[in-house]
Structure 1
């Protein structure tokens, strides 16, 4: 079916560099038109950053963001990739996502524009290619919250209802999310190339990834090994940032580990309230593989898979390639540890991240776990004395630790004043607390987006205390026991 071109938005400058790769990396896939498109959410600030004028008629915007019309210059495709899902290799591909092209933005960068939930593609397998309204609202909310927390992430440009139902348990309203990302290249893309494609295709993918995301590596003598090192460094920092705000991705399969090291795929993700490294909310993670405290190890595992996929490109001699790759991957724990220590030191206003500072960090975390203290509120209490964490911090054990911490801070050049400036930039007052998110989604699905929009507004400025918004700092009564998140497929 031919999809008409939309004129509701001006400023499209779509390129299609991914389609310069061998055709095995993608398949043509137009969106499937829907019954009654209705625009529900639009991100004007992101649109402006992309160079788009979204002042067109609402009907035209609804048609565009639901997939009933296409942007000028689009060449829609579904991307081919594989991945290890919970440790098991699987052939995948975009089963419900369609890439429209790469928007050339005013900042000089290119961004993938992708419709999620836009219908069946050649990679849908037995899926319906659709997404639920609640799940797409959730991705919009969490991805925007992550952006405002300062963590690299895909973003959300719009959500449009389809006027059709999606057959899940229970049956729900359908929707399409417009996702924006630096790219959707992933470890699984390289796994696919290594497993199924010839050497020339693998080399083309390597060259493309470097040109698009790591141009500083162009012309190096060991491009594959250098790419592995660069991706490792970015992933180490990204995971440390997740840990710093208590974020649990929930499904760190290798098809969700991006080469650009942005957070994406916000299915069974959640934020931790009470500090406990074993926290896991995903309904499909029955063994705790991707629990909060396991994320660094799972990142390491995923990067080892990446290294394996790169072996033929690292060195023509298999044994030498393995030797070089193993030596590189073995550096990840040290890379991550340095990033984590620095992130946690900043949360406590510490100038250094040496042995003494590490002891302060780990002693605080130990106290938090023993006392089921709220992760976000404890750090915010230390920052400015605010929030609902104060009562628990009256304990003698905490006061003893706090005295040690203050003595250490007073020995720093800037003292407590400078330390708290650093802490205020690194300790959010507000996170997307699970109960608040679920309540907002339920009401939005029932037709009232007011709670959703209020939560989105608070999360757009998470590091600033907002008068009258104290309820957004409260953990749920009785904790998160029994709370589950779902992948949405």
Structure 2
């Protein structure tokens, strides 16, 4: 673990061309430990997101500047950066885990961008005071998965942290086997989690708890300041954003895998991509995390777990909110908001501008048939959207064994259109049912090539996943059925 007064910090600083501004460091030493990253040896580029670079205001050739590769691998000091690791606590798999913190992530600072302030982090940059039994490193496979999925979720229109780049090294890292090191540069408006609030509340530190809440309100939820109870209003806004985010996950068949409270963003962003998965064969009880033996974070459990996590946040904020009834009023908003958002998304996938009792019923029957036959989630929804856009009915019918059931559902779809008096919106349907998602087998293929120093598939996947609703005929196979061996892929918490 390096400290700010190491020789690296004294060396010539690398100018990334970013406009750094005050951020978390203004909160004080209760919230973090200043330190420098621990360099990886002989770094090399693995992947970069040109879209994220543009949003940060970087030039197209930003990555070619001297020292940038080293700076984003933890090997050089960045001009204007104030690296630190934050402390937080949390519930893991429903059990209070006590103090946690940035065990392998380093907050570099906050930068001004045309779209508002963004924070930068290095993930995998070495030991911190909060690494516990870990080594502070990230490995190639998990770093590639996080990089691709961060940008894929953004392409899907789902609130998420982002990724600027991945750098790698042949430096060995021990997991179940010996792997190689990598560092992801992550970007988000804020990396503050539910667990940051839990840390100070459970530690009976009302002063820092209030400082943190005021910081988040003033920076990210300024409208809450004018509410009768700003802290209850803050909780209500986090409930709203979280409900919308999880509904978006459900609508595209995404499973997070480790929805611990320390992996829940105070801004309602998808954060910490570990054992995630996009659904192949539809099974509401599917568990994507091989380490989740009890199925706590299965697909069908995600909404309930999100609500549970929000209760944990509400408990943490209760010393500031004051009245239990005020906290409960905010928390009770989750289910109706989640249900309404998911119904709206399902209606859009059916080509309907708004949800109705008929669209809700049809979506429920459609999902029920998919579950009974374990139909591919992404392909089924996409073909239904294509049928709404004019493709023959057999493109959908051929997915199902129960011909009578699917024929009845397609008839109900026609009746739904007749009831509304409006033709279904084909573009609405196609723009809510992606042709491409980051399936596990695609990530595995890209990782296998990357281990041979071939990073071309990562960039090709990135280009497709940035525009997942387009057809991309040159990569049509990636929109097809997964190979049989995809069922054998196991993703665990080890990264």
- Structure 1-normalised TM-score? 0.94
Name the structure 2 match of 1:427: 433
What SS does structure 2 have at the residue aligned with 1:392? coil
Q: Is the 8 A contact 1:38 1:59 kept in 2?
A: no
1:370 equivalent to 2:387? Answer no
Distance 1:436 1:248, change over 3 A: same
Q: Kindly state the Cα deviation for residue 480 of structure 1 after the two structures are TM-superposed.
A: 4.9
Q: CA deviation at 1:16?
A: 3.2
Q: Does structure 1 conserve the Cα–Cα contact (< 8 Å) formed by 2:251 and 2:345? A: yes
Tell whether the 8 Å contact from 1:278 to 1:292 is kept in structure 2 after alignment: yes
Aligned with 2:200 (options 183, 193, 204): 193
> Does structure 2 retain, via aligned residues, the 8 Å contact 1:8–1:55?
no
| 2:31 maps to 1:31 | no
**In structure 2, the residue corresponding to 1:367 is in which secondary structure?**
helix
- Give the C-alpha shift of residue 212 in structure 1: 1.6
Q: What secondary structure does 1:469 align onto? A: helix
Q: What is the correspondence of 1:352-431 to structure 2 with a 5 Å cutoff?
A: 352-385=354-387, 391-393=398-400, 395-416=403-424, 419-431=425-437
Give matches, 1:230-249, under 5 Å. Answer: 230-249=237-256
Q: How is 1:201-220 mapped onto 2 (pairs within 5 angstroms)?
A: 201-220=208-227
Q: CA deviation at 1:36?
A: 0.8
Contact 1:130 1:175 in 2 (8 A): yes
**The 10-residue stretch of structure 1 (34-43 or 293-302) with the greater mean CA deviation from structure 2:** 34-43
Describe the shift of the 1:432–1:449 C-alpha distance in structure 2 as closer, same or farther (beyond 3 A). same
TM-superposed deviation, 1:133: 1.3
> How far off its partner does 1:8 sit?
5.4
Report what 1:323 is aligned to: 325
Moved more, 214-223 or 83-92: 214-223
How many positions carry a matched residue from both structures? 481
1:212-258 Cα distance to aligned partner (Å, 9 max, x none): 21111123220110001000001110000000110000000001110
User: TM-score if structure 2 supplies the norm length?
Assistant: 0.93
Higher mean C-alpha displacement, 383-392 vs 163-172? 383-392
Greater CA drift, 248-257 or 19-28: 19-28
Residue ranges of structure 1 left out of the alignment (5+ in a row): 316-320
Q: Indicate if the aligned counterparts of 2:13 and 2:76 stay in contact, CA closer than 8 A.
A: no
Aligned pair 1:2/2:2, yes or no? no
Contact 2:143 2:184 in 1 (8 A): yes
Q: How does 1:341-352 map to 2 (within 5 A)?
A: 341-352=343-354
User: What is the SS of the residue equivalent to 1:218?
Assistant: helix
Q: Is the 8 A contact 1:186 1:257 kept in 2?
A: yes
Q: 2:3 aligns to what?
A: none
Among 103, 121, 135, the alignment partner of 1:95 is: 103
8 Å contact 1:38–1:161 — kept in the other structure? yes
Is the 1:39–1:58 Cα contact (8 Å) retained in structure 2? Answer: no
- Aligned counterparts, 1:264-275, within 5 A: 264-275=271-282
Aligned-partner SS, 2:199: helix
Q: Secondary structure at the match of 2:166?
A: strand
Aligned alpha-carbon RMSD (Å)? 1.9
Match of 1:443 among 414, 430, 449: 449
Greater shift, 171-180 or 466-475, is seen at 466-475
SS in 2 for 1:415: coil
CA shift for structure 1 position 341: 0.8
Q: In structure 1, what is the Cα distance between the partners aligned to 2:237 and 2:17?
A: 33
Q: Which residue of 2 aligns with 1:337?
A: 339
1:7 offset after TM fit, Å?
A: 6.0
